[in-house]
């Protein structure tokens, strides 16, 4: 088998068809970002509980926090608000306890940042267009604006000035990984908390978003392997797990593709890249990891209305297109030149001779809606950039246009990250 996500044919044949034995029941699970569970067992009556699991993020093997972001992105794509996580760890025998402690602190810090801080307002339920859901899903600028995003404003696009402008990031964008300095090796409590604790004062410590899991030391691994299960909640009116593309839908990409993959390559191979490119380009590329969260964008789409949404993750843009089309049994027509991509991504992928359209793309969503331009305008009003890249067709032909050239979309491929690690 090849590294990365299991090949689609093997997944369908040896996993999904073994678990779901009905004639066509297994097909409904293809390409899903998360699973949904409803009923009386949910934490809030009338709500749905969503689950997703992540155990590897290309290029982020040394950062377990990236798994939290990836799981939260899957939940957000499904229309849920992430609330908690389960973490399992398989550790090599030579792993030291201080390293484990730092990993857990990192996981806890990232989990706290991606979760909803005031979930009581979600209890009202209702449609995405109600005032109650607007209040429930609103996230204030103070909660999620990260100053480090300002450094990305100068970035350009590889294709057009319009799309370059579209990729500027507003102060309201929920930047996640740019806060590494405050997370790495640090405890969730502040120095003030420590002083108060020492003096015997009562200090309120919020419960951890990591609810539990399992930790095992084994000679079966040579590096720590973490698995994260994200748990989220959605109102029935806003859950998107069963929403699929429809013929006539516009296809929209938010932000730019391959941001997280570009950041991982820049961080892992910084010295080699600096032999060809200026420091400013490599440094900007490294900071793209700050844009890995799609929480704010997903919430804005929920406010807008019903849409099919898919989280761009392993295998990038092209794999996401195939997965969404296959799940809905439809065709696509996509203009390659309209897919937003940063110049830094183009340069770095050229250095490694890899295809950016198959590179890990956390930070971007693929959206299908009958109201394409209206959604783009709505997101722009929220400071979120989006681009219409094509449309959904009734036949099953999946076409990629590049000027006068037309080709068929290939079946899913391994993420291009793994080609750089040979």
Distance of alpha carbon 411 from alpha carbon 408, whole angstroms: 9
Report residue 197 as tokens: 């604790």
The closest of 1, 2, 4 to 316, measured between CA atoms, is 4
Task: Find tokens 């997280």 and name the residue.
Answer: 260
Burial code (b: 16+ CB inside 10 Å, e: under 16) for 2-36 equals eebbebbeebbeeeeeeeeeeeeebbeebbbbbeb
For the entire predicted model, the pTM comes to 0.77
Instruction: Please tell me the predicted confidence (pLDDT) of residue 237.
Output: 87
Instruction: Please tell me the predicted confidence (pLDDT) of residue 25.
Output: 54
Output the DSSP codes for 157-171: BSS-HHHHHHT---T
Burial code (b: 16+ CB inside 10 Å, e: under 16) for 110-144 equals bbbbbbbeeeeebeebbebeeeebeebbebeeeeb
Residue 397 CB neighbours (<10 A): 13
Instruction: Please tell me the predicted confidence (pLDDT) of residue 311.
Output: 95
Cβ-based neighbours of 409, under 8 Å, separated by 6 or more = 318, 321, 322, 325, 332, 334, 398, 399, 400
Q: Spell out the per-residue pLDDT of the chain, length 422, in tens.
A: 777 777 777 777 787 777 776 655 555 556 677 888 765 444 555 678 998 989 889 988 889 999 999 999 999 999 999 999 999 999 999 999 999 999 999 999 999 999 854 343 343 333 333 333 333 333 333 333 333 344 343 444 444 433 333 333 333 333 333 333 333 333 333 333 334 334 444 444 567 899 999 999 999 999 999 999 999 999 988 899 989 999 999 999 999 999 999 999 999 999 999 999 999 999 999 999 999 999 999 999 999 999 999 999 999 999 999 999 999 999 999 999 999 999 999 999 999 999 999 999 999 999 999 999 999 999 999 999 999 999 999 999 999 999 999 999 999 999 999 999 86
Four-residue CA torsion sign, 337, 343, 344, 346: positive
Contact status, residue 166 vs residue 387, Cβ threshold 8 Å:
yes
The closest of 3, 4, 12 to 326, measured between CA atoms, is 12
Distance of alpha carbon 368 from alpha carbon 359, whole angstroms: 21
Task: Find tokens 């246009």 and name the residue.
Answer: 401
Instruction: Please tell me the predicted confidence (pLDDT) of residue 318.
Output: 98
Task: Kindly list the distances between the CA atom of residue 61 and the CA atoms of 7, 55, 56, 57, in Å, as whole numbers in the listed order.
Answer: 21, 10, 7, 7
Four-residue CA torsion sign, 361, 136, 251, 74: positive
**Percent of the chain residues past pLDDT 70, beyond the cut:** 73
Distance of alpha carbon 228 from alpha carbon 183, whole angstroms: 18
- The reply to whether CATH 3.10.105.10 applies to domain 31-141+148-186+207-421 is no
């Amino acid at each position: 088998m090849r590294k990365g996500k299991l090949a689609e044919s093997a997944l369908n044949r040896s996993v999904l068809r073994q678990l779901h034995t009905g004639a066509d029941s297994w097909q409904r699970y293809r390409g899903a970002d998360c699973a949904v569970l409803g009923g009386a067992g949910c934490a809030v009556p009338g709500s749905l509980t969503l689950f997703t699991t992540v155990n590897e993020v290309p290029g982020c093997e040394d950062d377990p926090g990236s798994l939290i972001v990836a799981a939260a992105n899957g939940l957000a794509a499904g229309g849920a608000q992430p609330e908690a996580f389960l973490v399992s760890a398989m550790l090599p025998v030579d792993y030291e306890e201080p390293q484990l402690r730092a990993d857990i602190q990192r996981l806890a810090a990232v989990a706290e940042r991606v979760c909803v801080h005031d979930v009581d307002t979600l209890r009202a339920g209702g449609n995405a267009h109600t005032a109650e859901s607007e209040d429930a899903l609103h996230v204030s600028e103070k909660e999620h604006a990260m100053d480090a995003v300002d450094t990305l404003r100068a970035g350009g696009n590889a294709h057009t000035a319009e799309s370059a402008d579209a990729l500027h990031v507003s102060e309201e964008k929920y930047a996640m990984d740019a806060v590494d300095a405050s997370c790495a090796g640090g405890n969730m409590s502040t120095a003030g908390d420590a002083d108060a604790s020492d003096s015997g004062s009562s200090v309120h410590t919020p419960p951890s978003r990591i609810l539990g899991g399992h930790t095992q030391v084994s000679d079966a691994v040579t590096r720590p392997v973490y698995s994260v299960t994200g748990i989220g909640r959605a109102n029935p009116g806003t859950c998107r797990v069963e929403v699929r593309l429809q013929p006539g839908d516009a296809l929209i990409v938010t932000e730019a593709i391959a941001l997280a993959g570009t950041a991982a390559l820049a961080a892992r191979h910084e010295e080699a890249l600096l032999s060809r490119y200026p420091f400013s380009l490599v440094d900007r590329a490294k900071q793209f990891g700050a844009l890995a969260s799609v929480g704010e964008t997903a919430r804005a789409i929920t406010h807008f209305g019903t849409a099919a949404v898919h989280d761009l993750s392993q295998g990038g843009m092209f794999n996401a297109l195939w997965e969404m089309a296959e799940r809905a049994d439809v065709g696509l027509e996509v203009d390659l030149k309209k897919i937003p991509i940063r110049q830094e991504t183009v340069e770095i992928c050229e250095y490694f001779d890899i295809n950016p359209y198959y590179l890990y793309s956390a930070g971007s969503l693929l959206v299908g809606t009958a109201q394409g331009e209206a959604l783009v305008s709505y997101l722009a009003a929220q400071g979120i950039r989006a681009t219409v890249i094509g449309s959904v067709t009734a036949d099953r032909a999946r076409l990629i246009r590049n000027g006068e050239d037309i080709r068929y979309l290939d079946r899913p491929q391994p993420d291009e990250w793994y080609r750089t690690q040979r």
